Chains A and B, each alone.
Chain A
Amino acid sequence: MDFLNAIIALLNFVVVPAMAYGSQLALGALGVTLIYGILRFSNFAHGDTMAFGAMVTVLFTWLFQSWGISLGPLPTALLALPLGILGCMGLLLATDRVVYRFYREQKAKPVILVIVSLGVTFIMNGIVRFIIGPDDQRFADGERFIVSARTFKELTGLREGLAIKTTQGITVITAVVVVALLFWFLNRTRTGKSMRAYSDNEDLALLSGINPERVVMITWLIVAGLATIAGVLYGLDKSFKPFTYFQLLLPIFASAIVGGLGNPIGAIAGGFVIAFSEVTVTYAWKKVLTYLMPESLEPSGLVQLLSTDYKLAVSFLILLIVLLFKPTGLFKGKAV
C-alpha cells in the first residue's frame, strides 16, 4: 500500500505537472528551433510572441464569456485560440515585413539578427503591457479537474490522491496533436520539404527554384501557431502574466539547445528533459520517501534539492552538462 501511495504521490506532484510543463516548453522550443533552422538566428522575441498570441486569445475569451458563449466543461479559450493565432500571424508577418526583411536583404549576420530580435522583444513587450497591462489575468473557465484528488481517493481507497487538471489534460493532448501535424507537414508535404531543404542548404534550395520569401513566410505562420498555442496552454495551466513569458524564454532556449538547435525532434526531447529536471530538482521528496522508508529512517527535512526560487538555474545547469558532453545537443543540431 505504501508503495502504491508513493507512486501516486510521485505521479501527482512530479510526473503530471512535468508532462504538462514539458509539453508547453516543447511547443515553445519548436518555434525557436524552426526560426533558427530557417531564418538562422536565435529569436529572443519568442517569449513575447507567445505573450502576444495568448493576450489576443485572452481578450477574445473575455468577449465570448461576456456573450455567454462557452464550451461547456472545456475552457472557452480553446474557442478563442484560432483568433489568437490569426492575430499572432498578423503581428509576425508585419514584424518580418517591417524589420527582419530589411536585414535579410542586407544578408546580415546571425549576431545582428539576435540583437534585432532583442529590440523586437521590447516592442512586443510594450505592446502587450499597453493593451492588457502587466498584471495577472485569469481567463480559464469550465471544469477544473478531469480527476480530482478527492474522487481518486474515494475510488481507490488510497491515502494519496491523484489530481489531473483539465488544463493539464488539454495541454498534453493538444501538444501531441500539434506535434503530429507539424511532423506530417515537414516530412510529407512539398512545402514542408522545401522548408527542410532550405534549412539544410540555402544556396542549393535557391538554385533549385525554391522561393526563399515564401519559405520564410510559411515559417512565421507556423511559428505564430506554435507560439500562441504554447502561450495559451501555459496561461491556462498557470495564469496569464506578460512577464512570465519573458522568463519562459530561458527554459525554452535551454530546451531547444539541449535538444540540438534547428532539430525539431530535439526541441521536443529537450522540452521534457528540462521540465522533468526542473520539477524533480525543486520537488520536496519528503512525502514520497516517507512512504518508502522504514519509520526510523524517515527524513526530517523537506528533501528538496533546490528551492523553487532557483528553478530557472536548473535550465542552465542541464544546459551546461549536456553541452559539455554533446556540444551539438542530444540530437544533432546545426551550427550557423
Chain B
Amino acid sequence: MIVVDDLHKHFGGFHAVDGASLEIAQGSITGLIGPNGAGKTTLFNVIAGVLKPTSGRVSMAGEEITGLPPHELFHKGLLRTFQIAHEFSSMTCRENLMMVPGDQLGETLWNTWFGRKRIADQERALRAKADEVLEFLTVEHLADHKAGQISGGQKKLLELGRTMMVDARIVFLDEVGAGVNRTLLNTIGDAIIRLNKERGYTFVVIEHDMDFIGRLCNPVICMAEGKVLAEGTLAEIKANEHVIEAYLGTGLKNKDKVGA
C-alpha cells in the first residue's frame, strides 16, 4: 500500500528521519513505536505532505506521492491525525467534522449561488453523518460546543472522528489514545478494528501504550534515531535486543529525552 524508500528529513544539521525504509501492507493495522524523538511524527508529516522530505521517496499503491500537498493526498484517501490535537476553534464540534470532506462537495462558485437545493441535501447528509460519528465516539453532547473549548482528550476524539467522516484508504493515527481514558481507549481500539474489517481501512498507529499496540497491531515497526530498528510481531519486537536497548529496556535512559 505505502512504500517508503530511504527517506531523510533534516532540520538544519539534525537528522530527524535518517534513511527510513518501510512498507505498509494493504489492509493491515501497523504499529509504529519508538522512543520520544525517534522521528515517528516527522515520518508521518513527510508521508502526509506536511513536510517536504530532504530526500527519498514515498509511494502509495504503486503511485509516487512524494511531496504532494496534503489536500491532494486527502483526496487520494490518505488521512492523518495530529499528535497535538488541532481544531477549528471558532466552530462547533459538529461543524468541525462537517468541514472534513474539504472541497469535494458542490464547491464551485456557480453551485454556491445556483445549486442551493443540491447543496442543502448534501449538507443534511453530512450533518447526519457528523452526528453519527459523534455518537459513536460517545461525545454527542458536545455537538454544539465550540471545539476550542472542549478538553484535550475530547479533542483527540474529534481528531479520530475526522477520519471517519469520509471513506479513507489509509489512516495515520498519531497517539490518538494519549490523554484518553481507559474505557474510551478500548472503544477507540474497537472502532479501529471495525473500520479495518468492515471498511477495509489500512491503519498506521503510533502509540506508546504497549497493551493497545499488542491488541491491535500486526506487524509492529520500531524506530529509533530516525531509522527503522526492527519489524515483526509485538512479541518478536519485544524480544529484539536492539529494541530493548533503545526503547523498551529499563526505560530510564529515555526519560530524559523530550518529545515533540
Contacts and interface: CB of A to CB of B under 8 A. Distances in A.
Given A209-B75, A209-B104, A218-B109, A201 B88 contact: yes
Given A190-B112, A194-B103, A211 B71 contact: yes
Given A193-B95, A206-B71, A207-B50, A200 B90 contact: yes
A203 to B, nearest CB: 6
Contact of A190 (B74, B91, B107): B107
B81 to A, nearest CB: 9
B71 A209 contact: yes
Given A206-B69, A207-B74, A218-B109, A190 B103 contact: yes
Given A189-B112, A190-B103, A210-B102, A196 B74 contact: no
Given A193-B99, A194-B103, A203-B86, A208 B112 contact: no
A82 interface: no
Given A193-B95, A197-B88, A203-B86, A208 B100 contact: yes
A209 B103 contact: yes
Interface string B83-118: 000111111000100011111111101001000000
Contacts of A214: 103, 107
Interface of A: 185, 189-191, 193-194, 196-197, 200-201, 203-212, 214, 218
A193 B166 CA distance: 18
B42 to A, nearest CB: 14
13 contacts: A190-B105, A190-B107, A190-B112, A190-B123, A196-B88, A206-B49, A206-B70, A207-B80, A208-B99, A208-B100, A209-B75, A210-B102, A211-B103
Nearest to B113: A189
Given A197-B99, A207-B71, A208-B99, 13 more contacts: A190-B106, A191-B103, A194-B102, A201-B89, A203-B50, A206-B50, A207-B82, A208-B100, A209-B71, A209-B100, A210-B99, A210-B102, A211-B102
A191 B49 CA distance: 23
A204 B106 contact: no
A201 B112 contact: no
Contacts of B88: 196-197, 200-201, 204-205
Contacts of A200: 88-91
Interface in B141-172: 162, 166
Contacts of B87: 201, 204
Contacts of A218: 109
B79 interface: yes
A212 B166 CA distance: 20
A83 B99 CA distance: 34
B48 A197 contact: no
B119 interface: yes
A204 B103 CA distance: 14
A307 to B, nearest CB: 43
A132 B101 CA distance: 47
B58 to A, nearest CB: 16
B102 to A, nearest CB: 2
A194 B71 CA distance: 12
Contacts of B106: 190
Nearest to A107: B52
Contacts of A212: 69, 71
A212 B119 CA distance: 21
A325 B109 CA distance: 41
A207 B90 CA distance: 18
A191 B90 CA distance: 16
A208 B109 contact: no
Contacts of B80: 207
Contacts of B74: 206-209
Contacts of A185: 112
Contacts of A209: 71, 74-75, 100-104, 166
Nearest to B78: A207
Nearest to A221: B109
Contacts of B79: 207
A211 B107 CA distance: 11
Nearest to B85: A204
Nearest to A206: B70
A191 B107 contact: yes
Contacts of A207: 48, 50, 70-71, 74, 79-80, 82
A196 B105 CA distance: 17
A204 B79 CA distance: 11
Interface string B31-52: 0000000000000000011100
B130 to A, nearest CB: 13
Q: Output the residue of B79, B80, B88, B99 with the most chain A CB within 10 A.
A: B99
B101 to A, nearest CB: 6
Nearest to B90: A200
B109 A191 contact: yes
Nearest to B79: A207
